[in-house]
Structure formats: C-alpha cells, structure tokens
Amino acid sequence: MKSETKTMKLKALFWLIVYVCVFSTYFIWDKKLSGGIGYFSFIVGGFLLFYSLVLTAIAGRTLKRFAHDKKDEFIPDRFVDNGIYNCMRHPMHLGIGLLPLSVALISGNLAMILASGWGIGATFWFVLAIEEPETLRKYKDDYIKYLQRTPAFTFSLKCLENGLYTLKDNSLTQQNSKVELKGFEAKHYDKLIDTVTLGWYPKFIEQVIKDLDLKEGVKVADFGAGTGRNALLMLPYIKDNGEVISYEIGQEMQNQFLQNTKDFQNIKLENKSILEDLDKENYFDVVFISFVFHGFTQGNREKIIQNAYKLLKPEGVFAILDFNEFDIEKSSFYVRLPVKFLECPLASDFINRDLEKMLSKYNFQDFKTKTYFKNYLRSPILTTSAIF
C-alpha cells in the first residue's frame, strides 16, 4: 500500500511538472494569435476545456463509484471496464492531457500552444510507458482482453454520454419516477412544455384528442389529468351531455385544473391516485392516460391496467398516449438524450416492453395504434375491453 501511495505521488508530480513547463512559456514569448484565427482559437479552446473537465470528472466519479472494494481507500483496487471506461481505457489521462492545450488555445499565446503539443506528447508517453505496464501487471488477463477490445483514447461524444448515463441512478423504483411534478415545474407546466417544444405540443395533443374519435355523450376517465388541458380539449366532442372525470393527486396541478375548468359542470376532479382501488365500476366509455403510464414501475402499471379495465363498460376503450417501442441507442439524438437524461429510468424500461402483450394479459383486445413524431410516440393505443 505504501509503494502504491508513493507511485501516486510521483504521478501527481509528473503532471505538475508538465503543467508548469507548458504554462510558464506564457511569460517567455508574448506573441498572440489575432483576428479571425484568434477568435477561432478561443472557441476551440473553450470547447476543449469543457470537454477535458467533463471527461476528467466523469472518469473520476466512475472510479470512485466502481473501483473500490473498500470505500475509504483512495487507490483503486478493482478493475473497471464499465461506463466511460467501456469505450476508452484512459479517459482521465486524456482529460488531463488536453487541459494545457485548451488553456493555451483560449489565451491565444503562440508559445503556450506550441508547448502544449509537448504536453500532449507527454500524456501519450506516460500512458504507454508507465500506466499501461503497471495496470497490466496488476490485472493481468482481464486487462489483456480489455486492451484488445477498447481503444486507449477516443473523442466520441457518445462515449461521454454513456459515461454520464452509467453514473445516473437508474434503479427502477417509484421513487425515481417523475410523473408527479411539484414546485416550479408543476405551477408552470403548460407554459414550460409549450416553450420547450417550440409550440409543437398544443397542436400535437389537439390531434391526439381528435384521433380518439370521442362521440357525443360518452363518459371519459382521465388518468393523471394534470392541468385539465386534455379534459378541455375533449369537451367539443363529448358535448354537454358527456362527462370527464379526472384523477389527479398533485396539489399544484389540482389548483390549476380547478381554475381552468371551473366554468364546465361536466368536468370533475377526483383527488385519488390511479393506483388506488377506484370506484365507478363499468361506468366509463373511455379511459385516457397521457404521458403518465411510463413513469410507473411494472407492478404499478399492471395496477393501472386493472383499474382501467374495472372502470370501463363492456367494449370500452383504454387509450394510452406514451412512448412507442424503439431501440433507444439507435434513436435520433434529440430523442435519445432526453429519454436517457431527462426522463426517469422507468421510461427506458417502458420503451423496451411489449405493450400489446402487457394489455392482452388483462383481457384487452383489438389492439390499434396511431404513431406520431417519427414513430417515437404512439397514441392513442386503443384496446377494446373483452366482454365476459
């Protein structure tokens, strides 16, 4: 242990010398890049600085979480090949090596830029001559296999993405759900979603409600009703002799719902969770749930399905607006990144499940679907309750 601690100190000293040698050149020659080249250098340097700091932070946090059998030890005692280490062997060294170059480019100092090339060379030398042989001696066959399948360095942004995702809490628990919004998000939900989607969402949800093909006089149960937007959109179709009973337990959402729907007697709010044993058995023609279903554990999803079946009349319709099934890793970045980093882990679990199979298990039949947003969303998913 003492020898390993000494080695760590020597490594730290090496990087200190590299940094001092590179940064000290700033005071030797004050020649700077100017004009368009100077601005370009500043922008590239800023990007590299951000990249190097993020890369080093991800690598450090990955080692802290996965590389220690004894949590109070500083020196890694476990071989790590997951997270960011799954796509490159030395992310931390790459980050440390790029730092002097990024600072040099930001400063525009020509001497520092030239000297930082030496810093990059020192990084490669350190990895090949010091770090690799030492790690190979420590982990033997495991590291040999790792060498064969994993490059020493890569500038892939997907590698950063995977590294960040591994550090996220991806446990499939209801506590990790984001279905019940609170605070600022809940109070300004409609405005936020309209702004974030650049005005796309209002037109989208209007089309979804239209596609439900609601008839005059039908009774609708709105699961997870939010601010009442969906209920209000249903009114022109169900008319005055129709009814919407909405289930919502979030206090901020309830307040907005009541304010938005106060002038309509046929829209009612129930302060009940859709996981409870709900009454009004065989009362509704349609049960509608919008972007809520994915935020529950599988066990709770099945409770919601059972509740929907219980509340529906024979041949009633259960309509679920939510994510479609697709390969998250192969999806477009504007879908993949929000699903992985903004949505709860339960969303990814839902996307990978066979919804038709899930529903048919509870006596729903006649599976129909309409897709939206390049097939990443589907709704309504219309399933007809079997008659017994």
* Displacement of CA 23 from its chain's centroid (Å): 38
Structural domains of the chain, with CATH: 2-167 (1.20.120), 176-385 (3.40.50.150)
* Displacement of CA 230 from its chain's centroid (Å): 25
Higher-scoring residue by pLDDT: 383, 120: 120
Three-state SS at 179: coil
CA distances (Å), 189 to each of 47, 186, 272, 292, 320, in order?
Answer: 33, 5, 20, 14, 20
C-alpha span between 169 and 2 (Å, rounded): 34
DSSP 387: P
Query: Residue 256 pLDDT > 50, yes or no?
Result: yes
* pLDDT level of residue 304 (50, 70, 90 thresholds): very high
Both structure tokens of 18: 């590299």
Higher-scoring residue by pLDDT: 34, 351: 351
Q: Crossing angle, helix 157-167 and helix 35-66, to 10 degrees?
A: 40
Report which of 126, 151, 153, 160 is spatially closest to residue 47, judged by C-alpha positions: 160
- Identify the sign of the CA torsion 226, 232, 233, 238: positive
* pLDDT level of residue 306 (50, 70, 90 thresholds): very high
DSSP 338: I
C-alpha span between 86 and 165 (Å, rounded): 12
pLDDT value at residue 363: 84
pLDDT value at residue 124: 86
The helix (run of H) or strand (run of E) holding residue 189 is: helix 189-196
* pLDDT level of residue 73 (50, 70, 90 thresholds): low
* pLDDT level of residue 270 (50, 70, 90 thresholds): very high
Report which of 85, 60, 236 is spatially closest to residue 152, judged by C-alpha positions: 85
Q: pLDDT digit string (tens) for 81-117? A: 999 999 999 999 999 889 999 999 999 999 999 999 8
C-alpha span between 76 and 80 (Å, rounded): 9
Three-state SS at 334: helix
Is 218:238 a contact under the CB 8 Å cutoff?
A: yes
C-alpha span between 118 and 138 (Å, rounded): 29
Is 108:40 a contact under the CB 8 Å cutoff?
A: no
Q: pLDDT digit string (tens) for 346-387? A: 999 999 999 999 998 888 888 888 999 999 999 766 666 544
Q: Crossing angle, helix 200-211 and helix 189-196, to 10 degrees?
A: 100
With a threshold of 0.85, does the pTM exceed it?
no
The mean-pLDDT minimum among 119-128, 317-326, 367-376 falls in: 119-128
pLDDT value at residue 28: 84
Both structure tokens of 361: 């298990």
Half-sphere exposure of residue 358: CA atoms within 13 angstroms, side-chain side:
21
Query: Before 380, cis peptide (omega within 30)?
Result: yes
| Residues above pLDDT 70, as percent of the chain | 95
- At 246, give phi and psi (nearest 5°): -110, 135
pLDDT value at residue 71: 61
C-alpha span between 230 and 218 (Å, rounded): 15
